[in-house]
C-alpha cells in the first residue's frame, strides 16, 4: 500500500529530484522537504539566496503529504490561554503570525491544490459548546476575528449530515486542501525560485554548518532543520521536546449521490483530545481520521477507523473503504511549535502538534528570514518557552503514552 494512501493515488508525480552526490556550497541548507522546509526554501530562494534542500525520502513524504488537509486559523492553544501564559503582547504577536500563516496558505495553495473554504469545530458535549462560544466571543472582541458563527444542534445536523453533536462552530476563515498536491506545488514554486531540491538524501550528521549525507555534503552559511517529528534523530539535544503520535486516516470509495454526508463541504474536527477529523475530497470520498497510537501502527488500519466513522455517519454502513494510511504527528508538551537554535547558524522549527498546515508556512518563512538576518518572526516563535517531555531517553515513550492515554479518558467526561 502507498504510504500516503489516497493522496499519492490522486496527485501527479513531480519531476524527480536526484539524490545529493558530491560536496556543494550554499547560502542556506534546508533539511526536510515537508511544508516547513519547502516554505523556508521558497522564501529564501525568492530573495536570491542559493538554497539547497535535502529530503530523506520524497517531497511531502511525512506529515505534510499525509495529513487531514484542514486549515485551522490561530494556534493550537486558545488565545486566552496564551495571554495568561505569555502575556497579551506575545500572545497577540503569535495571533498575528497565525493570521499571516493563514493568508500564506490560501495564497500558495490557490492553484491546483483542491483548496476550499469552511471549517467546522464540532462540540462533543455541551461544556465544549460553551467553551467554543466563549473563545469565539474573545477572538471577535480582542482580535477582530469575525469569521466564527455558532450553530445549534439542528443547524449542525443539517450542515454535517450527522446528529452526534450538540452544537458546533463554523469558521469561514478556515478551510481544507489536498496536502500532497500542496507539498508538490510548493516544491515546484521553490524550484522556480531557484532552490535545488534533493530527494532520497537523508542527512546523517551536522558538523558546524556542513550537513552530510551518504552521497555528499552541503556546506552552508546557515542550516535550517525542518524534520518535525524526526528532528531528535538528527539532533539528540532536541529529542526531549518532541513526541510522536501516529494518526490514522481512511478514504472511502466515492460516496453515493444520495448520501447525506457533509452537505456544507467544510472540513470538520471535533473537540476531543483524541479527535475525529474529516472532510470530503473533490471526487466525493469521505476522508475520515480517528484513533491514534503512541507505539505501533496496526497492519490493517481500516478496521480501526471504520467504527469511529460509522458512529458519526451510520448511513455509510455499505460504503467501502478504499485507502487507509497513517502519519506521524510531532507534538510538544506545550502544544505550541518549538523553534530555536542548535548553534548560532543552525536553526530548527518543529512540533506544530497537529496544527501545522497553515502555521508551517510562517514557520518556514521565519526560519528563512532569520538565516537572512531578520529574526523578528523567528524570535516571536522561539520566545515561547518549551517544556521537556517527562521520562528521559528510556522512560519518555511510556510516560508520554500514559499522559496521552489519560487525555483520551478525559474525552469521556
Ligand X SMILES: Cc1cc2nc3c(=O)[nH]c(=O)nc-3n(C[C@H](O)[C@H](O)[C@H](O)COP(=O)(O)OP(=O)(O)OC[C@H]3O[C@@H](n4cnc5c(N)ncnc54)[C@H](O)[C@@H]3O)c2cc1C
Residues that bind ligand X (CB under 6 A): 31-37, 54-57, 61-64, 66-70, 72, 202-203, 226-230, 234, 247, 249, 277, 327-329, 350, 352, 354-357, 360
Closer of 65 and 314 to ligand X (Cβ): 65
Nearest distance in Å: CB 98, ligand X: 11
* Inter-residue contact 211 to 29 (CB < 8 Å): yes
Nearest distance in Å: CB 364, ligand X: 8
Name residue, grid cell 518549551: 386
Closer of 72 and 116 to ligand X (Cβ): 72
Nearest distance in Å: CB 53, ligand X: 9
Closer of 155 and 239 to ligand X (Cβ): 239
Closer of 55 and 93 to ligand X (Cβ): 55
**Hey, what's the cell of 29?**
541548507
Q: Pairing mode, if any, of strands 286-293 and 167-176? A: unpaired
| Burial of 335 (C-beta count, 10 Å sphere; 0-12/13-18/19+) | middle
Nearest distance in Å: CB 62, ligand X: 3
Q: Which of 189, 190, 194, 197 is nearest to 50 (CA)?
A: 194
* CA dihedral angle for residue 240, residue 243, residue 244, residue 247, rounded to 10 degrees: -170
Closer of 84 and 214 to ligand X (Cβ): 214
d(CA 193, CA 93): 29
Strands (E), 260-305: 267-270, 277-280, 286-293
Phi, psi of 367 (to 5 degrees): -65, -45
Closer of 156 and 353 to ligand X (Cβ): 353
Question: DSSP characters for 314-341?
Answer: GGGTTPPEEEEEEEEEEE-SSSS-EEEE
Nearest distance in Å: CB 270, ligand X: 12
Closer of 109 and 203 to ligand X (Cβ): 203
d(CA 217, CA 208): 12
Number of alpha carbons in the 13 Å side-chain half-sphere of residue 103: 7
Give the nearest residue (CB) to ligand X.
356
Nearest distance in Å: CB 274, ligand X: 13
Nearest distance in Å: CB 125, ligand X: 22
Q: From the centroid of its chain, how far is CA 32?
A: 14
Amino acid at each position: 500500500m502507498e504510504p500516503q494512501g489516497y493522496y499519492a493515488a490522486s496527485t501527479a508525480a513531480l519531476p524527480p529530484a536526484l539524490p545529493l552526490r558530491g560536496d556543494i556550497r550554499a547560502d542556506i541548507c534546508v533539511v526536510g522537504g515537508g511544508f516547513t522546509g519547502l516554505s523556508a526554501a521558497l522564501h529564501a530562494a525568492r530573495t536570491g539566496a542559493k538554497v539547497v534542500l535535502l529530503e530523506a525520502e520524497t517531497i511531502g513524504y511525512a506529515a505534510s503529504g499525509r495529513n487531514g488537509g484542514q486549515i485551522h486559523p490561530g494556534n493550537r492553544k486558545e488565545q486566552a490561554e496564551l495571554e495568561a501564559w505569555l502575556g497579551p503582547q506575545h500572545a497577540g504577536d503569535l495571533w498575528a503570525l497565525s493570521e499571516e500563516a493563514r493568508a500564506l496558505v490560501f495564497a500558495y495553495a490557490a492553484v491546483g491544490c483542491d483548496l476550499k473554504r469552511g471549517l467546522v469545530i464540532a462540540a462533543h458535549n455541551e461544556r465544549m459548546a460553551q467553551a467554543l462560544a466563549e473563545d469565539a466571543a474573545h477572538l471577535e472582541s480582542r482580535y477582530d476575528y469575525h469569521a466564527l458563527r455558532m450553530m445549534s444542534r439542528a443547524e449542525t445536523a443539517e450542515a454535517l449530515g450527522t446528529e452526534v453533536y450538540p452544537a458546533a462552530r463554523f469558521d469561514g476563515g478556515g478551510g481544507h486542501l489536498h496536502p500532497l498536491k500542496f507539498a508538490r506545488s510548493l516544491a515546484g514554486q521553490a524550484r522556480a525560485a531557484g532552490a535545488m531540491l534533493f530527494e532520497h538524501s537523508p542527512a546523517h550528521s551536522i558538523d558546524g554548518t556542513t550537513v552530510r549525507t551518504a552521497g555528499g555534503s552541503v556546506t552552508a552559511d546557515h542550516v535550517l532543520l525542518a524534520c518535525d517529528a524526526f528532528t531528535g534523530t538528527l539532533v539528540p539535544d532536541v529529542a526531549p521536546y518532541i513526541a510522536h503520535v501516529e494518526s490514522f486516516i481512511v478514504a472511502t470509495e466515492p460516496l453515493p449521490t444520495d448520501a447525506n454526508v457533509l452537505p456544507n463541504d467544510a472540513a470538520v474536527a471535533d473537540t476531543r483530545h483524541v479527535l475525529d477529523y474529516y472532510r470530503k475530497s473533490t471526487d466525493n470520498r469521505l476522508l475520515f481520521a480517528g484513533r491514534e497510537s503512541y507505539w505501533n501502527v496496526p497492519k490493517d488500519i481500516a478496521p480501526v477507523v471504520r467504527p469511529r466513522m460509522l458512529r458519526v455517519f451510520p448511513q455509510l454502513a455499505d460504503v467501502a473503504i478504499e485507502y487507509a494510511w497513517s502519519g506521524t504527528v510531532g507534538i510538544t508538551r506545550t502544544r505550541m511549535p518549538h523553534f530555536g537554535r542548535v548553534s548560532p547558524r543552525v536553526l530548527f522549527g518543529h512540533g506544530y502538534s497537529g496544527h501545522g498546515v497553515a502555521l508551517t508556512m510562517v514557520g518556514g518563512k521565519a526560519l528563512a528570514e532569520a538565516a537572512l538576518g531578520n529574526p523578528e518572526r523567528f524570535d516571536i516563535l522561539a520566545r515561547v518557552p518549551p517544556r521537556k517531555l517527562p521520562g528521559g531517553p528510556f522512560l519518555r515513550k511510556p510516560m508520554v503514552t500514559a499522559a496521552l492515554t489519560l487525555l483520551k479518558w478525559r474525552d469521556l467526561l
